Amino acid sequence: MKTSYCDIGIIGCGEAGIFATYELARLNPGLKILVCEQGADIYNRHCPIVAGKVKECIHCKTCDTMCGFGGAGAFSDGKFNFTTQFGGWLTDFMDEKTVMDLIEYVDSINMRFGATDKRFTTASKAAQELEKVALQNDLHLLQASCKHLGTENNLVVLTNIYENLKNKAEFRFRTPVHHIERTENGYAMILDDERIECRYLIAGPGRSGAEWFSNECKSMGLKLINNQVDVGVRVELPAKVFEHITDVVYESKLVYRTKQYGDSVRTFCMNPYGHVVTEAVEGINTVNGHSYSDPSLRSENTNFALLVSNRFTEPFDEPYRYGKHIASLSNMLAGGVLVQRFGDLVKGIRTNEHRLQQSYVKPTLTAAVPGDLSLALPKRQLDDIIEMIYALDKIAPGTANYDTLLYGAEVKFYSSRLDLSGELETKMPGFFAMGDGAGVTRGLAQAGASGIRVARVIAQREKNNN
């Protein structure tokens, strides 16, 4: 096996990997940086569903929706949230001001490469009125400002960043890392037919690499801390139902604590006039959503996720596998994503093709198969979701309409988090972990911020050593 060398090895080219590469190249252009990514570059990421060649997932060997330059966020609608209240746990490692400064810096880079300067904010008078109405109905609107890049504009920004970076670091696409090893002088990434040794190793495996990364860390003797498991559905309804909310706060994060179980349920990934889509993670089809900034590409519906957060104690130590198992049940029943009318779910009857055709809400994900979510999702989570829908109906009348569509399952896969320092360094010196797949973030803003943080730490150490 051939052996190669570099100063810094980066696993994953999602948001965290991109911004770590950007900042390292800016602060110390003399470093030899090698980025390994199992997916394609930004020009060669082609999902057959998005291209209209097929109606449902055909389980490509490497999912171009989830993997490649830009990671899972490349084909998202590009919501960039300025907050520490959601989107990750970086405040577990550093103070809030530091995190917000990092987020603002990431945004400034995005703007340099074409991102919008328009922000939606919960600080406006209209948003404060919305917050008051939500509180009156036991719902809590989390404070944040948000930018909506749009699915098509998000790709433009990423393409511009790639053009800027492609000659400042070595990118190896379609190159999965199979194993990580510790060496006398650092670490080694084991590829198909090559061993790459580096002084620093930065892991940003993304959601698609989360389970692999957890297993590699266990084999190296690194302690893992369980993160929460988020399980739920994607709701689709007429855009007019939520218009008074999405026009004020594009990405409204509403949290509710259920009366029956005391569980936390939240809205997530709000897509006004958007489309419901599928995404594949290691052979499992889950549901997601996106929306365009171009009015001509919009639908008449709004979609958003309702997620129930669960935390487990020992001996449970595999949140990723738990989420995959739940998603696989809906796949087993529907051959992919399952859809059910809310009214049918409450009545305890299965939605079939005939009932779905009668619905006033027309599904934007036409490949979804009508069925019964109660056969796929655990009863507790389903009870929580139903209670949340009735709560939302009080501030957005029409949410609990019979024809509101529920797609399942929506599962957010996060790795068990490593025991990390405030610099996002593992117990092994020079080995860092960042982004969603490492369990420290769950969104574009904080993922990018984690990459900047790690890059600055390494750059400072290099400066001190010289």
CA distance 237 to 301: 5
What confidence score (pLDDT) does residue 460 get?
A: 96
> Taking 90 as the threshold, does the pLDDT of residue 210 lie above it?
no
CA distance 378 to 380: 6
pLDDT bin (cut points 50, 70, 90) of residue 418 is: confident
What confidence score (pLDDT) does residue 113 get?
A: 96
CA distance 372 to 345: 7
> Taking 90 as the threshold, does the pLDDT of residue 306 lie above it?
yes
Q: In b/e form, how buried is each residue of 398-423, taking b as 16+ CB within 10 angstroms?
A: ebbbebbbbbbbbbbbbbbbbebeee
CA distance 301 to 236: 7
Among 93, 100, 109, smallest CA distance to 15 is for 109
Among 377, 450, 387, 442, smallest CA distance to 420 is for 450
Please tell me whether residue 248 adopts helix, strand or coil conformation.
Answer: coil
> Taking 90 as the threshold, does the pLDDT of residue 229 lie above it?
no
What confidence score (pLDDT) does residue 451 get?
A: 98
Instruction: Give the tokens for residue 354.
Output: 């005939």
Supply the Cα-derived Rg of the chain in whole angstroms. 22
Give per-residue pLDDT as tens, 42-67.
999 887 765 556 656 667 777 777 89
Query: What sign does the dihedral 148-151-152-158 (CA atoms) show?
Result: positive
What confidence score (pLDDT) does residue 447 get?
A: 96
Among 14, 59, 22, smallest CA distance to 209 is for 14
Q: What is the mean pLDDT of the chain?
A: 90
Give per-residue pLDDT as tens, 363-374.
999 989 999 999
CA distance 7 to 267: 42
CA distance 17 to 444: 12
Instruction: Give the tokens for residue 303.
Output: 């979609």
Mean pLDDT in residue range 31-35: 97
Q: Which residue has the higher pLDDT, 180 or 326?
A: 180
> Taking 90 as the threshold, does the pLDDT of residue 312 lie above it?
no
State yes or no: cis peptide before 205, omega within 30 of 0.
Answer: no
First to last CA, the chain: 33
Q: Which ranges of 335-429 does DSSP label H, i.e. alpha helix?
A: 342-347, 353-358, 379-395
Place of tokens 């936390």: 264
Tell me the residue ranges of DSSP E strands in 282-404.
284-290, 301-310, 338-341, 369-370
What confidence score (pLDDT) does residue 333 get?
A: 86
What confidence score (pLDDT) does residue 428 get?
A: 96
What confidence score (pLDDT) does residue 275 get?
A: 94
CA distance 275 to 284: 20
Instruction: Give the tokens for residue 83.
Output: 């907050």
CA distance 299 to 274: 6
What confidence score (pLDDT) does residue 28 get?
A: 95
Burial of 29 (0-12, 13-18, 19+ CB in 10 A): exposed
Please tell me whether residue 21 adopts helix, strand or coil conformation.
Answer: helix
What confidence score (pLDDT) does residue 313 get?
A: 67
CA distance 326 to 333: 11
pLDDT bin (cut points 50, 70, 90) of residue 327 is: confident
Among 376, 427, 110, 80, smallest CA distance to 251 is for 80
What confidence score (pLDDT) does residue 13 get?
A: 95
CA distance 192 to 170: 17
pLDDT bin (cut points 50, 70, 90) of residue 124 is: confident
Place of tokens 């999702």: 377
Q: Which residue has the higher pLDDT, 426 or 146?
A: 426
What confidence score (pLDDT) does residue 427 get?
A: 95
What confidence score (pLDDT) does residue 389 get?
A: 98
Residue 74 phi, psi dihedral angles, 5° rounding: -65, -40
Q: Which residue has the higher pLDDT, 366 or 292?
A: 366
Q: Which residue has the higher pLDDT, 370 or 321?
A: 370
Instruction: Give the tokens for residue 380.
Output: 């507790």
> Taking 90 as the threshold, does the pLDDT of residue 171 lie above it?
yes
| Three-point CA angle 453, 459, 462, nearest 5° | 145
Among 202, 199, 203, 178, smallest CA distance to 189 is for 178
Instruction: Give the tokens for residue 109.
Output: 């880079």
Among 323, 336, 340, smallest CA distance to 374 is for 340
> Taking 70 as the threshold, does the pLDDT of residue 83 lie above it?
yes
Among 164, 95, 149, smallest CA distance to 118 is for 149
Query: What sign does the dihedral 171-174-180-181 (CA atoms) show?
Result: negative
CB 368 within 8 A of CB 333: no
Cβ-proximal residues to 247 (8 Å cutoff; 6+ apart), any chain: 272
Mean pLDDT in residue range 81-103: 93
CB 113 within 8 A of CB 157: yes
CA distance 15 to 439: 14
Mean pLDDT in residue range 413-425: 83
> Taking 70 as the threshold, does the pLDDT of residue 212 lie above it?
yes
> If you average pLDDT over each of 5-14, 210-219, 269-278, 330-339, which comes out highest?
5-14
Mean pLDDT in residue range 181-188: 95
Residue 207 phi, psi dihedral angles, 5° rounding: -65, -35
What confidence score (pLDDT) does residue 51 get?
A: 58
